[in-house]
Amino acid sequence: MKVRYQYRIYPTPQQVKGLNQLFGCCRVVYNDALAIVRSVPQGEKWPSNAELQKLVITQAKKTAERKWLADVSVVPLQQSVQDLSVAFKNFFESRSGKRKGSKVGFPRFKKKLNQQSARFVRTGFSLKGNKLELAKLGRFKVKWSRPLPSEPSSVTIIRNTAGQYHASFVVEIGSINIEPLRPSIGVDLGIKTFAFLSTGDRVESPGYNRLDRKTRRFQRKLARQVKGSKRREKTRLRLAKLKLKTANIRKDFLHKTTTQLIHENQVVVLEDLAVKNMLGNRKLARAISEQGWGTARTLCEAKANRVNDREVRIISRWEPTSQICSDCGFRWGKVALSVRSILCVSCGTEHDRDGNAAKNIEKSGLGLTQDSK
């Protein structure tokens, strides 16, 4: 299976200029190709990927307005047009129902201030010792935090909104064998406690409050400053670094938590949460978005495919996991969110609300709910 390994790179000032020029060329080629497709009258056939590459790259280089496209490698320019084809494919498959998940909108024009990227295939890059060599850009210093498991098939150079540069390699890896500690586990995701496990353990999320307060303060400051001013750009950069720091803390926590869940349990049972609908609650939207429930589910499913004999099961969001006693199966009905401990009137067992829900999630995922009743 194919996975990505991402590393920080440190370009020289001259290489920064070359990368910025490359990002601009990729963005222009993408936008030109999209403009051509949008200009096609309704009912007529759109140009193919090869025809678009010929129009926006080969023929455009011969014009005075786009002759500077020849200053950069043609490989990432071709990949930029290929990205547009993938965007249209995702759009049409989303409309027809072939693509699962949230609806994908019609491709939009790329902007200069957003995250920039350029992809090189094997003909455009090579690894020279500990350095990465890119066509027409030279060799880059890479912070190798871990070795690559195999020869990469492509690399994407990324510049985030905080001005940092990364190299994302696509490599092929095989599945691994790890003996599980438990046959199954149920996970109840929450806000105050990130996850309550059916084993009775709690997984506490890192505190984002301090960074959140600083982020809000800089957001208010940014809103008051004049657009286009140097001070506003300085504030925007500091705000981007704050958000990046929060995102990195969350990503590190989610990766470690999901890896532990998959390695220690043969079957991991999660609840299908309507996160998008929950974000409509003004009072809880920020706290819910900080937890990263959707990312945690995606990481669990992806890591289960890498380890042999692992499975992630998703139960229905309408399953009454908080309304049933996990010991005797008695259903007491809906209980207010403020009630955190419940005493079953049937068997007399006192349950923690989240712990009881986690046990019911595990039973529902394994199909054992009928046995308890």
pLDDT, tens only, 69-81: 999 999 999 999 9
188 is catalytic: yes
271 is catalytic: yes
Report the Cα 32 to chain-centroid distance in Å: 27
Residue 369's pLDDT is what? Answer: 61
Reported as type and span, the H/E element at residue 117 is strand 116-121
Reported as type and span, the H/E element at residue 245 is helix 230-264
Residue 48 is which amino acid?
S
Residue 276's pLDDT is what? Answer: 82
Residue 372 has pLDDT above 60, yes or no: no
Average pLDDT, the chain: 91
102, 91 in Cβ contact below 8 A? no
Residue 370 has pLDDT above 80, yes or no: no
Model pLDDT for residues 25-48, shown as the tens digit of each residue: 999 999 999 999 999 998 889 999
Model pLDDT for residues 313-358, shown as the tens digit of each residue: 999 888 888 888 888 888 888 888 788 888 888 888 888 888 889 9
132, 139 in Cβ contact below 8 A? yes
Determine the Cα–Cα distance for residues 123 and 133; give it in Å rounded to an integer.
Answer: 11
309 is catalytic: no
Q: Considering only 84-88, 234-238, 319-323, 365-369, which range has the smallest mean pLDDT?
A: 365-369
Q: Which of 188, 212, 233, 301 is catalytic?
A: 188
Tally: H helices and E strands in the chain: 10, 14
DSSP letter at 106? P
156, 176 in Cβ contact below 8 A? no
3-state secondary structure of 251: helix
pLDDT, mean of residues 217-230? 95
Q: Which of 83, 271, 319, 362 is catalytic?
A: 271
Determine the Cα–Cα distance for residues 154 and 59; give it in Å rounded to an integer.
Answer: 26
Residue 283 has pLDDT above 80, yes or no: yes
> Residue written as tokens 């996990």?
326
The strand pair at 182-189 and 125-128 is best described as unpaired
**Prediction pTM value:** 0.85
Residue 34's pLDDT is what? Answer: 96
